[in-house]
Amino acid sequence: MPKSIELAAAGALPGREGPTDPRAQALVAAAYDLLAEGGLEGLTIRAVLARTGLARRAFYDNFGGKDDLVLAVFAQTLHAAARQLGSWADEKPTPLERLQFIVQSIVLGQFGLEETPAGARDLRGAALSREHMRLAESHPAQLAQALAPLLGVMAGYLSDGMADGSVRRSDADRLALLVYNLVSTTVHTELLAEESGIPDRARRMALADELWEFCSRAVIA
């Protein structure tokens, strides 16, 4: 598995295209780090400003509030995941193997990172899982926009599979969304369960295999 996925240095904040204010990038990067260090409890506007050394006005020049900041973290993280995972997946020989790589990478999360120490808790992942479920109700359009790059990569592999006959004929975008929703919902449950205990790498790796087996049966021709 790949060693790391870095927060995108540039990309789309919700509702924006192209390069963003460097102050916004600093605020998003600080939020990303704070979530890893202390989960949702550690992410406050005060903490982000203290980490960046920026004034409160700089925050509100770029974000309407904490929800907008969290959505920006989603957008940047998923933009980076789509780019990097897609690049690694493209090295696989078939569309189904490329899709398998994406699915299993989502399931494994930090367990797919070679440098992750045993017993490390994914506080950022758990925090974003909680926020994902809440924002899906309160900010569905913005969350969908954040997910679009990764779903686009998955849909591309499904479309390629339909072209070579390995994937059943269907709407590739719809099929990608169904696969992602199944995988992400399962992973969210795992991450939240791990908040109160020691993460089990072997369990997560087994889950990655099981989920791919389920997904592959759903999409193969």
Spell out the CATH class of 73-219. Answer: mainly alpha
Query: Mind listing the pLDDT tens digit for each residue in 118-142?
Result: 545 677 877 888 888 888 888 899 8
Torsion of CA 67, 149, 83, 79, to 10 degrees: -10
Domains of the chain, residue spans: 73-219
Q: What is the DSSP string of 85-107?
A: HHHHHTTSSSHHHHHHHHHHHHH
pTM of the shown model: 0.82
Closest by Cα among 90, 98, 25, 113 to 63: 25
Tokens of 212: 């791919």
Query: Mind listing the pLDDT tens digit for each residue in 55-112?
Result: 999 999 999 999 999 999 988 888 988 999 999 999 999 999 999 999 999 888 765 5
Q: How far apart (Å, rounded) are the C-alpha atoms in residues 129 and 204?
A: 16
Q: How far apart (Å, rounded) are the C-alpha atoms in residues 121 and 125?
A: 9
